[in-house]
Amino acid sequence: MADFVLKWHGKDALGAIRSKLKDGVREATVALRNNTRQLITRPYPPASVGGEPPARRTGDLWHSITAHSPNDLEGIVSAGGGGVGYARDLEFGRPGLDQRPYMRPSFDELVPIITDFFK
């Protein structure tokens, strides 16, 4: 008799893994969107200074931050679009405007939490 037996349940195991990944991607994507929005809730005035997330002036940037999953294993959080052509300038800066990052700090904050969604 064998001391050790490994039983593989191919389709069932892959289905369970895929389901867990799908749930993790969805939860992580929504958490990132929510955390990013949270970083830009400080009211204007006063304006933010370079290096800080932007202050919430009109709410347009806040509303432009969206989350979607084009498939089960991919999540996308985006900002800008519509009338919010300045989202990229705030994140990365441009001549005459210091960067006011909000997406990158949000992601950095959530990395430990996001990895928990996949445990």
Q: Compute the half-sphere exposure of residue 91: CA atoms within 13 Å on the CB side of its CA.
A: 17
Give me the pLDDT at residue 16, please: 86
Tell me whether residue 53 is in a domain: yes
Distance CA 75, CA 102 (A): 18
Reference 91, options 79, 83, 108; nearest CA is: 79
This prediction's pTM: 0.84
Do the domain assignments include residue 42? yes
Residue 1 lies in a domain: no
62 within some domain: yes
Q: Is residue 55 part of a domain?
A: yes
Terminal-residue alpha carbon distance, the chain? 34
Range of the domain at 55: 10-116
> Is residue 97 assigned to a domain?
yes
pLDDT in tens, the chain (119 residues): 667 777 777 888 888 888 888 999 999 999 999 999 999 999 999 999 999 999 999 999 999 999 999 998 899 999 998 889 999 999 999 999 999 999 999 999 999 988 887 77
